[in-house]
Amino acid sequence: MEQAVFLQGRAKDGKCLLRDGYLFRIGKRTPKKSYYTCLVSKCSSTVCLDPDEKMVLSSNGIEHNHAANPAEIEVRKFHQKLRQNILDQPNTAIPQLYKETLSSIHASSEVLSQIPTFSGIKNYMYKVRASVRPPLPKTMEELQLDGIWSKTTDGSDFLMVDEGIGDNRIMIFCTLENLKLLCSGKNYLWMEPLR
Ligand SMILES: [Zn+2]
């Protein structure tokens, strides 16, 4: 039996089934089968999957009434790779991940012209990033920094001081190395704290 292959698309399309160079989106789910229909709205080609959507059970045998679009598949592969990189590397900056993913694919100029610019896909990328991060605290009391959130990317302590309560809470972020450099300085420049 044939294994089902999915591609993650743009946010509004969700995941699509990839079969023989064509893309299908979920039509309906029943307890015994999941029905996927061709992404092109006037095409009647349908594929049936098992309820776990792991295997292709059958197709309705209707030929596609349009040509396959390999460029669209490549664009979706880019989206999928970008999404996976954001999930796998939660501490790498989003602009850097976009740049790295783009340079890792060997796309034709046709595909490149369909890949969204950074500003065009920025909101989606930050949404994916937010899904693996704790929600933002609403009060100072809710702000709890421990584990990886209190350390630098190489694992050194970064939260030096966390004292006081409410509006009087003071948090100082610095590494031991930076503190040593600060102590070795002969001159200090002072500025008013930003409020
Ligand atoms: Zn079709």
Question: What percent of the chain stands above pLDDT 90?
Answer: 60
Mean pLDDT of the chain: 89
CA distance 132 to 52: 25
Residues 25, 19 contacting (CB under 8 angstroms)? no
Distance (angstroms) between ligand 1 centre and the Cα of 167 equals 60
Distance (angstroms) between ligand 1 centre and the Cα of 144 equals 51
The reported pLDDT for the residue numbered 46 is: 96
Confidence of residue 10 (pLDDT cuts 50, 70, 90): low
Structure confidence by residue, pLDDT tens digits, 139-176: 888 888 888 889 998 889 999 999 988 888 899 999 99
Distance (angstroms) between ligand 1 centre and the Cα of 40 equals 5
pTM of the model: 0.68
Q: Which residues contact 124 (CB under 8 A, 6 or more apart)?
A: 10, 11
Bridge-partner residues for 2, per DSSP?
Answer: 56
Confidence of residue 106 (pLDDT cuts 50, 70, 90): confident
